[in-house]
Amino acid sequence: MSNHSQDHETPEVDIDRVMDEIRKEVAQRREKTGEYRVRKKPEVATVSPREPSLVGVSGIHSMITFAEAQADVGAEVTAMTSFRGFTRQIALWVGKIVIYLSSFITVKQRQFNATILQILRRISDDIELTEKQNILWRDEQIEIRSAIEDIRSEQTALKSTFEDIKDKQTETKSAVENLKIIVDDLKRKQTEVKELEKSVIHLKTNLILQENRIATLLEEARRRLPEPFDREQLQVMADEKKHFFEALYLSFEDQFRGTREDIKERLKVYLPFLKKAGIGADSMRILDVGCGRGELLELLQEEMLQARGVDHNSLFVRQCRERGFDAVEGDMISYLRTLPNASLGAVTGFHIIEHFPFEGLIDLLDETVRVLKSGGMAIFETPNPQNISVGSCNFYADPSHRKPLPSSVMKFMAEARGLCRVEVINLHPFPDAFWISGSELANRFSEYFYGPQDYGVMGVKL
């Protein structure tokens, strides 16, 4: 029993050695008594820890099941066939007593055996579970290897595709650069074509003017011959000289005034004032003096407002008529004098008043007030000399300009000639990118150099 206790206390139990000792003890008892036998357990082949087991999990389960069955049976009394009669009965009774008494001796051993079997059963189950997991892991490894191979194949394909894309990208970049060069060249040629078109139009216009002048001179010469020119004929030729610079000024407007779209966009600021006053109906028609290329006439026509233009430049008038606008040729003040009193809803003039001498400006204001109806409006726009760039340079880009007109002067003159509720609207400052800020000096500098380039003066006739 001491050996058994020592084995029980040992952390690692040598099951094979314990089983050999059990077998030896049982054999010794059988040799001493000879009256009972213990069912011999089948010998189980031991496996060295260093040697690989050849027994499968199912074989191990069978062995453990057999061992558990033998442990449950325990010791049995033999049949005592060598004895007869009463002697046999006594032998059987003695054997049972011996087995009964031995059960007290071997109780711990049997508990130890049961514990070992439970441990073996647990180990066997763990081995079975481990084998199943190994199988699953092996299958997963196979799938992983297959997936890795697929990924490598895809990587190779993607690498090849990437190289193709890179090559195509290089080709595309080269093509884009070539296309950009072509586009730039086309833009340059387009600009050149537009300039050529302008030149052709100007040349055509000049040619028409020259034809008209030659025809006039030939007609006058035909009428004169053989007599000399009379006063009326000389006046016709003198009047014709006034048109010599019309084509030049038309080219000047195209170069410095801005595109039609730009001018129309700038003029939209006045539409709300006209509509609010109910101006533009048949009973409140608008006259645009110095209508030029007809940007305002076009804008008013798009807004379904009734308007007419007047200009002394025959080429401007011809352009307006070709576009379907109502325009007449003539001197602005002279045309106003032909109109009856209180016959118009509005008189407008954009970048016109700076062309008049002081007396002519007074006449223009007087005639404007005369022809306006009650509630009619006068609108005049001119360069703003308070902007130093405009007052010192840009204003004089047009040689036909007389002198700059400060907004305070124009407001005073409009009120002095009979207009009421006169107000000044500052227009067209430089973009914000030009403005400098950060100090009072910087703000004042920006106001003088990058402030409004034009202003509009508006008044109403009561």
CATH code for the part of the protein at 258-460 = 3.40.50.150
Which residues, including other chains, have CB under 8 Å from residue 426's CB and lie 6 or more apart?
A: 384, 407, 451, 452, 454, 455
Rounded (to 5) percent helix, strand, coil in the chain: 65, 10, 25
- Provide the b/e sequence for 404-440 (b: ≥16 CB within 10 Å): bbebeebbebbeebbbeebebbeebbeeeeebeeeee
Query: What is the average pLDDT score of the chain?
Result: 79
* C-alpha distances out from residue 267 to 69, 206, 348, 349, Å: 113, 30, 11, 11
Instruction: State yes or no: pLDDT of 11 exceeds 60.
Output: no
Note the pLDDT tens digit of each residue in 162-213. 888 888 888 888 888 888 888 888 888 888 887 777 666 666 666 666 666 6
Helix (H) or strand (E) holding 96: helix 85-105
Instruction: State yes or no: pLDDT of 254 exceeds 70.
Output: no
Residue range(s) in the chain whose domain bears CATH number 3.40.50.150: 258-460
Q: Strand order in 420-427's β-sheet?
A: 327-329, 307-311, 286-289, 344-350, 372-383, 454-460, 420-427
* C-alpha distances out from residue 387 to 40, 120, 223, 287, 459, Å: 126, 106, 55, 29, 23
Instruction: State yes or no: pLDDT of 225 exceeds 70.
Output: no
Cα separation of 405 and 291, whole Å? Answer: 20
Please indicate whether residue 66 or residue 299 has the higher confidence score (pLDDT): 299
Q: Taking Cα atoms as reference points, which of 365, 386, 371 lies closest to residue 451?
A: 386
- Provide the b/e sequence for 167-187 (b: ≥16 CB within 10 Å): eeeeeeeeeeeeeeeeeeeee
Range with the lowest mean pLDDT among 75-79, 213-217, 441-445, 446-450?
Answer: 75-79
Structure tokens at 160: 């090849």
Range with the lowest mean pLDDT among 45-49, 222-226, 230-234, 325-329?
Answer: 45-49
Note the pLDDT tens digit of each residue in 265-278. 999 999 999 999 99
Reduced to 3 states (helix: H, G, I; strand: E, B; else coil), residue 2 is helix
What percent of the chain has pLDDT above 90?
38
Average pLDDT value for residue range 429-444: 90
Instruction: State yes or no: pLDDT of 46 exceeds 60.
Output: no
Structure tokens at 395: 């204003």
Residue labelled with tokens 């800020």? 437
* pLDDT for res 210: 63
* The model scores a pTM over 0.85: no
With bands split at pLDDT 50, 70 and 90, how would you rate the model's confidence at 40? very low
Note the pLDDT tens digit of each residue in 123-135. 877 787 888 888 8
What percent of the chain has pLDDT above 70?
66
Cα separation of 220 and 409, whole Å? Answer: 47
